[in-house]
Chain A
Amino acid sequence: MRNQVKILGELGSMILIAAITALVGTILVLAVGADTGKAFGAFFSGILGSFYSFTEVLVRATPLILAGLGVAVAFQARFFNIGAEGQLYMGAIGATWAGLYLPAMPLYLHLGIAMMAGFLLGGIWAVIPGFLKSQYRIPEVINTIMFNYIAINIVGILVRTVMANKTSPLPMSPRLSDDLHLPFLADPTRLHAGLLVALVSAVLVYLFLYKTTWGFELRAVGNNPRASSCSGISVKKTIVISSLISGGLAGLAGGSEILGVHGRLMEGISPEFGYIAIIVALLGRNHPFGVVLAGVGIAALQIGATTMQRRAGVPASISLIIMGLLVVLILGRQYWIKSRST
């Protein structure tokens, strides 16, 4: 009975949050003096108006899911990885490097190695702050933010120097060969196999977290590091492993963007995917399947908002407002539920 009340309360609070954000969204649309019918029509047709528009949502969701999974794994171990953005860029560097400079080999092998290179570089970029936290207790929040900016600048340096495209004055790497592309899933849309990588990763992360000893230890450390340490779990090792997997997944997001969308390394391939991934992880409650849903949801919000800007003149930044508001409300809700249950 008590459980039912709790579930009802959670459900109610979720509906309340959805209602508040919808209300704020409507007020904003009214404030710019747009036709609400037209605006909301544009919003939904941007998401579900055609098969093509829905595949665009999934293309946008792919890096969000991958990086979101990474953030979720880290958060479950209470490693506050704010560095998915930088890890994503390092992954992009790794994938581009493997795509450009490795000798010829069978296509799928090459694609696999390029993605693995993305995982590896992203992982390394997260393991450094992870190691510094576990070994020397250097707080990871500031460190991972610094690593974001360092990674972004490294990309800027690479595309202007050693990886520069000699035939173009623009700061970008040469194009990968046309074959070296994640397979398209539904011609003529842009939907690529990165989505499959994301979904498989979600299942693997689920199995890892909930069906293996390492995953159990990781969650235990996140819940109570002291108790875990007392029961013989190595907290240090666990944090290093979680940061490696976390950064690796964000690196996969970068690799998938290079091999599935852009075909070359350049600046700005991530419009804050790594930061939005944190919101995705929070909305998905750090559960792999929740992250998949939240990733698609946030992608839909962004794509819908862009369409709304194009067709009804409502600034697309409305999606940023909604995202920020959602997180604030959800944070508040956790307090509300906690204070009522005690």
Chain B
Amino acid sequence: MDTGLIGILTALLAASVRMATPLTLAGLGETFSEKSGILNIGLEGIMLSGAFFSFIFAYYSQSILLGLLGGCLGGVFISMIHGYLSVRLNVDQTIAGLALNFLALGLTSFFFLMAFGRTTDLPECPVVHQIAIPLLSDIPIIGPAFFNQDPFIYLTFLLVALCYVVLHRTEWGINIQATGEHPRAADAAGISVSGTRYRAALLNGVFGGLGGSYLTLALLGFFMENITSGKGYIALVVVILGRRHPVGVLMAAILVGAAEALQFRMQTMGFGIPSQVFNMFPYVITVLVLLFSIGKNRTPAALGEPYIRNNR
């Protein structure tokens, strides 16, 4: 790899895209969930559970595909508990999500220690390798970042497009939005509010689980306690910055990923600025975005509100 400005820029962009991938995946899932009216703070737990089960499946089967399946199942396990609590039992969604984060952290740490003991050399699972797309990967700067990556990342781009189409161009997507904006009207129009919300929760689990799997099956190749360490919360940030739009989520994730990649680079180069300054960026920007969105309220009107059918 050549040094110089172009080389640094290329490496930085490629790293940003890699950092952005788990956030994008989890953010897409949360977008479905929030559009349907469920605010799931338990995204951290979904990702963690996804990371854990993808590792376990991949470790014992030595198959990446089974690892992915495990990741999805792990995510769905947590998201459907949250779905049940918020759709069927109408409980406070924030507290339920928080509790599930604790539960997921506890369960994954507990069973990981149980299976592998307290070791310094962490057990490794197979990881995906990058595949260069001919021609496109030769484009300077953006080529290596977008077209010389692992298949996971190509899948993510595909999913972003797919989510956009589903959410904005299909009847089912419109139904999801209606459920989040005005559940009673949606109900009166013959849409099953609880069914729609359950399906959104299911998608949230699949996507969040995939996001967690990316950490183990692509970025790291191992699992450790609290491997997500707040990535789920950053994914919540990405959803807001991306205004709950799939393409927006991708862009926001790349922005946040760039901040993260930049911070790593600054650390190795030994600048005098503490890395926390960069760590803080996404959160400060989110607060500012919330501030500037005063008046033009884009949050789904019924976000976080349980829908109780028999209440008037």
Contacts and interface: CB of A to CB of B under 8 A. Distances in A.
A328 B99 contact: yes
B106 A335 contact: no
A149 B276 CA distance: 10
Interface string A267-291: 0000000010011001000000000
Contacts of B113: 315, 317
Given A132-B291, A146-B287, A317-B109, A156 B103 contact: no
Nearest to A331: B91
Interface stretch (B67-75, B156-164, B182-190, B278-286): B278-286
A119 interface: no
B304 to A, nearest CB: 7
Nearest to B106: A320
B92 A331 contact: yes
B66 interface: no
A141 B291 CA distance: 14
B56 interface: no
B37 to A, nearest CB: 13
Q: Main secondary structure on chain B at its contact with chain A?
A: helix
Contacts of A275: 98, 101-102
Contact of A139 (B104, B105, B299): B299
Nearest to B109: A317
A160 B272 CA distance: 10
A233 interface: no
Interface string B267-298: 00000001011011001101100110010010
B233 A327 contact: no
A320 B105 CA distance: 7
Interface string B92-124: 101110111111111101100110000000000
A156 B91 contact: no
Category for how many chain B residues contact A? 35 or more
A148 to B, nearest CB: 8
B114 A146 contact: no
B7 interface: no
Nearest to B280: A153
Contacts of B240: 142
A145 B105 CA distance: 18
Nearest to B236: A142
Contacts of B291: 132, 136, 138
B153 to A, nearest CB: 26
Contact of A146 (B89, B283, B303, B304): B283
Nearest to A319: B106
Contacts of A320: 102-103, 105-106, 109-110
A275 B101 CA distance: 10
Contacts of B283: 146-147, 149-150, 153
A141 B304 contact: yes
Contacts, number: 136
B75 to A, nearest CB: 16
B261 interface: no
Given A143-B287, A145-B233, A28 B99 contact: no
B108 to A, nearest CB: 8
A265 B110 CA distance: 31
A136 B299 CA distance: 13
Contacts of B302: none
A147 B94 CA distance: 16
B41 interface: yes
A317 B230 contact: no
Contacts of A150: 280, 283-284, 287
Contacts of A319: 106
Given A138-B291, A154-B280, A321 B106 contact: yes
B102 to A, nearest CB: 4
B63 interface: no
B100 to A, nearest CB: 7
B277 A278 contact: no
A39 interface: no
A191 B225 CA distance: 31
B117 to A, nearest CB: 9
A113 interface: no
A321 B111 CA distance: 11
B219 interface: no
B39 interface: yes
A139 to B, nearest CB: 7
Nearest to A314: B110
Interface string A142-167: 11011101100110110011000000
Contacts of A325: 103
Interface in A231-246: none
Contacts of A32: 114
B95 A315 contact: no
Given A278-B95, A328-B103, A331-B95, A318 B110 contact: yes
A125 interface: no
A328 B304 contact: no
A137 to B, nearest CB: 8
Nearest to B86: A331
Interface of B: 39, 41, 81, 85, 89-92, 94-96, 98-107, 109-110, 113-114, 225, 230, 233, 236-237, 240, 274, 276-277, 279-280, 283-284, 286-287, 290-291, 294, 297, 299, 303-304
14 contacts: A136-B291, A139-B304, A149-B230, A156-B276, A160-B274, A275-B98, A282-B95, A317-B109, A317-B110, A322-B106, A327-B98, A328-B99, A328-B103, A334-B91
Please provide the 4 A-B residue pairs with the shortest distance between their CB atoms, ordered closest to farther. A324-B103, A320-B106, A321-B106, A327-B99
